Amino acid sequence: MTGNTYGFDTLAIHAGQDPDPRTGAVVPPIYQTSTYAQDAVGAPRLGYEYSRSGNPTRDALQECLAAIEGGRRGLAFASGLAAEDTLLRAVCRPGDHVVIPDDAYGGTYRLFSKVAENWGLDWTAVPLGDLDAVRAAFRPGHTRLIWAETPTNPLLNIADVTALGALAHEYDAMLAVDNTFASPYLQQPLALGADVVIHSTTKYLGGHSDVVGGALVTAGDELGEQLAFHQNAMGAVNGPFDAWLTLRGIKTLGVRMDRHCDNAERIVAYLQDHEAVGQVLYPGLESHPGHETAAKQMSRFGGMVSFRAAGGPEQAIRICNRTKLFVLAESLGGVESLIEHPGQMTHLSAAGSPLEVPADLVRLSVGIETVDDLLADLEQALG
C-alpha cells in the first residue's frame, strides 16, 4: 500500500495489516515467540529465525510506519532514544560532527552530550530556524548530519525542512527530522527533503500512554538496509505486544490528531488573554516567528502548547501542581491531557547547559477530552 494510491487514514488502518491468511483474523496476531521452527538447515520458514532479527507483528508495524510517512523502510525500536542511538551509530563514526537544535529534547541532548560524545562524536547546538547559523556551524568533511526537531520540544520552534535538507545535501550530509510532535498526519518530512524521520512512538502514534517505543523511517532503500542491519546487530527492538499496541494506536491517529488540534487552538486562545500568562508558544499563532514555515509544511499546528508564567518560576510550578484534569506527568501525545514543568522534569538533563529551558515554562500536552472541561481546569489552576 502506498500513499499514491490510498489516503492517510486508509493506510493507518490497513497498511501491513491484511487479514490473517490462516484464520481470517482482521487484526494482525501477536506473535509472542522468541524463535521459529525451520524447515531445514539454512531454510527458515518465511525468513523468520529469531525475533530480534524479525517478528511478524513488528514487521506489520514497520510496514505501516513506512506507509504513513511516505518512506521506503520503517524500523521499530524499544524506545525513541533507542532509535536515535541506532541512527547515530549507523551513519556516524568517531570524529564526525552533527548539528543539533539549540532547544532539543532533553533526552536527545543527554544522548549527544553524555553518550555519543564519549564515543568520539562531536556536535554543535544552533537555532535551526537560522539557516546562516546552521551553515556557519558546518564543518565540511566532518559534519555528517543535521538533526532537526520541528516543532521543537518544549519551545515549539520551527525549522524549514526543505531548506535544511538542501543545505545538508550541499555538504554531502543527511537530514534527520524528529517528527514526534507533529506526527505523520500533520507533517511528512521525507516528502520535504529529509533523509530519515525519527519518532517516539510512545507519543502520538501509540496515543494511549500504555506503550513505549521508537521508529525510524527512511526515504531511501540503501539507508534503510544499513539501519536494518544495525537494528538487528544492536538489538534494541520492541517486543511483539508493544508493536501490536502501537499498531492499534495508529489506526485512530488521524481522528485523534484532529481533536488534539481543535482543543489546542481553543486553549491557546484562552491563554493568550489570561493575565497569569506572559507568553504563549504555539506555531499556529501568527505572531510565532515560525508560523509561515509551519503553515507551509504542516497541515495543522498540533496538540502541544507551551506558555511562560507571568509570575515567574514559582507560579509556573504552582500551576502545574494545581491542575486536576491535566495530569502532572512526563511524556505527551496521549488521549489524556498532561501538564509538566520542563525545567525540573523532561529537560532537567539540560540544566546548566546552553540548552537549558526557561524556569517559568509550562508545557501542555492537550488531550481529546471535552475542551470546556480542560478550560475550566486551567481557569482554576491559573487563578
Instruction: List the grid coordinates of 283.
Output: 506555531
Query: Cis (ω within 30 of 0) for the bond into 154?
Result: yes
Catalytic residue, candidates 52, 248, 251, 266: 52
Answer whether 238's CB lies under 8 Å from 268's CB: no
- For residue 197, the SS3 value is strand
Marked catalytic residue, from 36, 105, 185, 282: 105
Is 105 a known active-site residue? yes
Which entry of 73, 144, 203, 363 is annotated as an active-site residue?
Answer: 203
Cell numbers given for 313? 518560576
Closest C-alpha among 308, 254, 316, 313 to residue 282: 308
Phi-psi region at 262: left, alpha or beta (left = phi > 0; alpha = psi -120 to 50): alpha
- Which phi and psi (to 5°) does residue 35 adopt? -145, 170
Residue 142: name the closest of 170, 171, 119, 114 by CA.
171
Contacts of 204 (CB under 8 A, 6+ apart): 180, 183, 185, 253, 256, 257, 260, 303, 332, 333
Contacts (Cβ under 8 Å, ≥6 apart) of 7: none
Query: Within a 10 A sphere around the Cβ of 144, how many other Cβ atoms?
Result: 22
CB 347 within 8 A of CB 106: yes
Dist CA 367 CA 260 (whole Å) = 6
Question: Residue 75 in contact with residue 215, Cβ under 8 Å?
Answer: yes
3-state class of 362 per DSSP?
strand
Among the options 178, 195, 360, 377, which is catalytic? 178
- Residue 215 is classified by DSSP as E
The residue count of the chain comes to 383
52 as an active site residue: the answer is yes
Is residue 70 within 8 A of residue 190, CB to CB? The reply is yes
Give the residue numbers marked as catalytic. 52, 105, 178, 203
